[in-house]
Structure 1
Amino acid sequence: MRSEKEKLRSANVTIEECQDKIRCLTQQRDYARTHQKIVEIPVEKPVLYKKCEACDRTAYQNAKARYETQKEQLAGQYKAKTVMFQTTLFLLAWYSLTTTLFQAVQSDVFLSDCKSFFNDLASFIQTFVGWTIDAGHSAAQISTKIPNAFIAGMVYWLLLILIVGICMAGTGMLAILIEIKVIELYKKNCWDVITLLMILTSAVVIIYFGESIKKVMPINLLFLLLFIQGIYLGIRCYLNTLYWTNR
């Protein structure tokens, strides 16, 4: 019995010692975790290529010189091809326009419509000038209320010249502004090969088939040509505006 008790007592002592050791080690571990220091140790990384300090960059300079030479050559070729294309386009336009004008001169129907168009335009201008002068005369009648005949005559002619001049100058300025606006729209929206082809094609169709067109609808051919150009300009402006709006 004594021996068993002694063995049990020695076993308990051993267990307690193990627990004390475990407790001590746990405390040391926790202390190390809370009081540890981070130390950065520099490490050299292997470099695959190290630049030579005595390098004169000869390869780079040679490559750059070749690039500049090729760039200048390509720019010269592009410029030459651009000039050739523009020259060819100008010659084609000149040939087409010349042949179209020659055919227009030989077309009696188109020539008569051109004369009629300009005669109507001249008649309209003459009528407008007559209306302006009549309006000036009517406004200048105010001078008749002046008792002095000499002063009344001067006022009459001054009012007439002033009113007619204002009307004529205003109309001329309006026509010039409209012309400038149309030219700006053409340059902005229609200054390309498509417009040139469209003008030549419409002119050729109207000149060559003028008699057939007038049989279908009695309209002045020159006015029809200008009307088609106006419709084309409106369509191009609308498409250009729609394109930039959706972009």
Structure 2
Amino acid sequence: MIGEYQNKIRCLTQQRDYARTHQKIVEIPVEKPVLYEKCESCDRTAYQNEKAKYGTQKERLAGQYKAKTVMFQTTLFLLAWYSLTTTLFQAVQSDVFLSDCKSFFHDAASFLQTFIGWTIDAGQSVAQISTKIPNPFIAGMVYWLFLILVVGICVAGTGILAILIEIKVIELYKKNCWDVITLLMILTSTAVIIYFGEAIKKALSVNLLLLFVLSQGVYLGIRCYLKNRDYEEKSVNMIFYDKNGR
């Protein structure tokens, strides 16, 4: 049995040696990408012509896009101007809307007058400290000094607060509502309040101009909410993709 296995090993060894000595080498062509070497003496006229053609087409398309953009903006401006003009003309002819406008500004002026009166009363109350000064001349100076100081601080603080609120509202409008949708909403709400002012006054006992301001505030709040929610969803999606390695 050992001899049989030795014969098999000898046969296999001979086959291996025969395969090694009788191999055929075949060359297979393989394409290998190499870096492009610029030839200074070659003719690149076709490339230059195509590049010039591309530049010309790009400039022509950019000009067409700019012209269409200007045309769209001009049309939008004319539409807004026409809508606003006709709405204002209708507002002038609306007795109910004019009456509410006068009432709104009259109430605003009355509130401002009342606020100034409260401020003067507060200043006079604080200035009463001067009555404890025995010298009448110094007491008078201290009285007017405290009165001017208190009134000035209250009026200036209120004015600065109103300006800051106005700036904040303008920033929110530019950030969230500065688009065509807002323009259409303003024109539509103005037209509805003016054209259907009498019906609104019968259903709701509210000032039409105040109703317009409140509707703009509600619209601004809704747009800010939707904008923030969309931003939060995008942030969550980005975090989810980052965690999953996508």
Task: State whether TM-score is above 0.5.
Answer: yes
- Distance in 2 separating the partners of 1:51 and 1:123: 84
| Map 1:105-144 → 2, pairs under 5 A | 105-144=92-131
- Distance in 2 separating the partners of 1:145 and 1:51: 98
1:218 pairs, out of 201, 205, 214, with 205
Match of 1:232 in 2: 219
Match of 2:230 in 1: 243
Matched residue type, 1:158? L
1:70 pairs, out of 57, 64, 70, with 57
1:61 pairs, out of 4, 24, 48, with 48
- Distance in 2 separating the partners of 1:102 and 1:116: 20
Q: Does 1:146 align with 2:133?
A: yes
Instruction: Determine helix, strand or coil for the equivalent of 2:128.
Output: helix
- Distance in 2 separating the partners of 1:79 and 1:168: 49
Matched residue type, 2:81? W
Q: Structure 2 vs 1, CA of residues 46 and 84 (structure 1 numbering), >3 Å: closer, same or farther?
A: closer
- Distance in 2 separating the partners of 1:77 and 1:86: 14
Gaps of at least 5 residues in structure 2 are 18-26, 235-246
Q: Does 1:204 align with 2:191?
A: yes
Match of 1:6 in 2: none
Instruction: Determine helix, strand or coil for the equivalent of 1:191.
Output: coil
- Distance in 1 separating the partners of 2:151 and 2:160: 14
TM-score (norm 1): 0.81
Match of 1:97 in 2: 84
- Distance in 2 separating the partners of 1:232 and 1:125: 27
- Distance in 2 separating the partners of 1:209 and 1:199: 15
Deviation at 1:105, TM superposition (A): 0.3
Gaps of at least 5 residues in structure 1 are 1-14, 31-41
Deviation at 1:46, TM superposition (A): 6.9
- Distance in 1 separating the partners of 2:155 and 2:134: 31
Q: Structure 2 vs 1, CA of residues 243 and 45 (structure 1 numbering), >3 Å: closer, same or farther?
A: closer
1:160 pairs, out of 137, 147, 151, with 147
- Distance in 2 separating the partners of 1:109 and 1:164: 38
1:190 pairs, out of 139, 161, 177, with 177
- Distance in 2 separating the partners of 1:90 and 1:101: 16
Instruction: Determine helix, strand or coil for the equivalent of 1:219.
Output: coil
- Distance in 2 separating the partners of 1:46 and 1:207: 78
Matched residue type, 1:152? A
Matched residue type, 2:73? Q
- Distance in 2 separating the partners of 1:235 and 1:106: 32
- Distance in 1 separating the partners of 2:142 and 2:104: 39
**CA deviations over 1:12-60 (Å, ceiling 9, x no partner):** xxx99xx69x77x96xx89xxxxxxxxxxx9975789x98943222221
Aligned length: 220
Q: Structure 2 vs 1, CA of residues 142 and 47 (structure 1 numbering), >3 Å: closer, same or farther?
A: closer
